[in-house]
Amino acid sequence: MAEDIAKHLAQIDSPPSPTTSDPDSESPTRRRGRPASGKTTRDGNHVQSLTRALSLLVEIADSDGGASLSELAHRVGLPPSTAHRLLKSLEQQGFVQHDLQRALWHVGVQAFTVGNGFLRNRDVVEIARPHMRRLMEESGESVNLGILEAAELVYLAQVECREVMRVLARPGGRAPLHCSGMGKALLAALPDDQASRMLTGTASRKGLARFTDKTISTTEAMQRELAAIRQRGYSIDDEEYAAGLRCVAATVHDEHGEPMAAISLSGPSARMTDPRLRQLGDMVARAAQTITRAVGGRPTR
């Protein structure tokens, strides 16, 4: 289907004769530099037209409430006449729709169908892995990926660093939410009432389980911690789960802006010093946003 759409777009988007008044037409001088006929020219037209049409579709998707023809043409750098021809072709295929009353273009149902196919088949581990490896190279520390399951953190994958002293996290292993970097990042991404219920459900009469003398052990203190994480943009496990181990983490969000996973940098406190924590935190927050976009999610502020 994509090839048929590209051919159709190329026919619509192909430059008219130089004798016409279309502002997007090419001069004879420019056209002499191209082959008069042949596969290269047709393929080039197909690719150019498809790229232009996809650029228009992306701009419409990014516009809350729709976008006008003049706005779209300006954003992608096309003459309005060319943009209109491409939009009409996308409309015929169901990828966009036109609100005649308000003269605005919106995403069509076919775009939703194609996007939903990606969401059904996405594998967050495979999508995240190259970004995790890049983050490991940039930071020099081990990178972990985890999800929230039954009020616990479950490790999905790890890219180990090259240091002799490094933290190992076995895929499938579990950790408490309230004292792990990724667990706290996921809690902070939940609505207050949901995070509170989860913390209350895991707390005993004596409070949250203590693993070190730095573990946050009351729900009141944890609520303050979650507020700080939301403000900061990443969480910190300051030797709260294991003595001598530090971690910074941030959340990966799905298409609804809800937490679907978390990514972290972990290492010994001897390397992850106070001056370095903020730098590593900013790194992991950027990586989480990148992975969010890669999985088709909605990045948060």
Phi and psi dihedrals of 248, rounded to 5? -125, 145
Residues 139, 108 share a domain: no
Q: How confident is the model at residue 12 (pLDDT cuts 50, 70, 90)?
A: very low
CB 208 within 8 A of CB 241: no
For residue 97, give its domain range: 2-118
Structural domain includes residue 90: yes
- Count: domains in the chain: 2
Q: Is 90 exceeded by the pLDDT of residue 21?
A: no
Residues 96, 180 share a domain: no
Residues 140, 284 share a domain: yes
Residues 195, 59 share a domain: no
Residues 253, 148 share a domain: yes
Structural domain includes residue 104: yes
pLDDT tens string 256-299: 889 999 999 999 999 999 999 999 999 999 999 999 999 988 87
Structural domain includes residue 224: yes
Structural domain includes residue 301: no
CB 246 within 8 A of CB 269: yes
Residues 72, 58 share a domain: yes
Structural domain includes residue 245: yes
Mean pLDDT, the chain, whole residue set: 83
CA 208/CA 151 separation, integer angstroms: 13
Structural domain includes residue 175: yes
Residues 108, 171 share a domain: no
Residues 49, 22 share a domain: yes
Residues 146, 76 share a domain: no
CATH number of the domain enclosing 239? 3.30.450.40
Residue 81 in tokens: 């006449």
CB 229 within 8 A of CB 185: yes
Residues 98, 11 share a domain: yes
For residue 225, what are the contacts with CB-CB under 8 A and spacing of at least 6? 184, 216
Q: Which of 118, 145, 167 is the last residue of a domain?
A: 118
For residue 289, what are the contacts with CB-CB under 8 A and spacing of at least 6? 250, 299, 300
Structural domain includes residue 54: yes
Residues 27, 80 share a domain: yes
CATH number of the domain enclosing 101? 1.10.10.10
Q: Which of 98, 118, 138 is the last residue of a domain?
A: 118
Using H for helix, E for strand and C for coil, what is the string for the chain? CHHHHHHHHHHHHCCCCCCCCCCCCCCHHHHHCCCCCCHHHHHHHHHHHHHHHHHHHHHHHCCCCCECHHHHHHHHCCCHHHHHHHHHHHHHCCCEEEECCCCEEEECHHHHHHHHHHHHHCCHHHHHHHHHHHHHHHHCCEEEEEEEECCEEEEEEEECCCCCCCCCCCCCCEEECCCCHHHHHHHHHCCHHHHHHHHHHHCECCECCCCCCCCCCCHHHHHHHHHHHHHHCCEEEECCCCCCEEEEEEEEECCCCCEEEEEEEEEECCCCCHHHHHHHHHHHHHHHHHHHHHCCCCCCC
Residues 228, 88 share a domain: no
Q: Is 60 exceeded by the pLDDT of residue 16?
A: no
Q: Which of 83, 118, 153 is the last residue of a domain?
A: 118
pLDDT tens string 87-140: 999 999 889 999 998 999 998 888 877 766 655 656 888 999 999 999 999 999
Query: pTM score, two decimals?
Result: 0.64
Structural domain includes residue 300: no
pLDDT tens string 38-83: 444 566 677 888 899 989 998 998 888 889 999 999 999 999 999 9
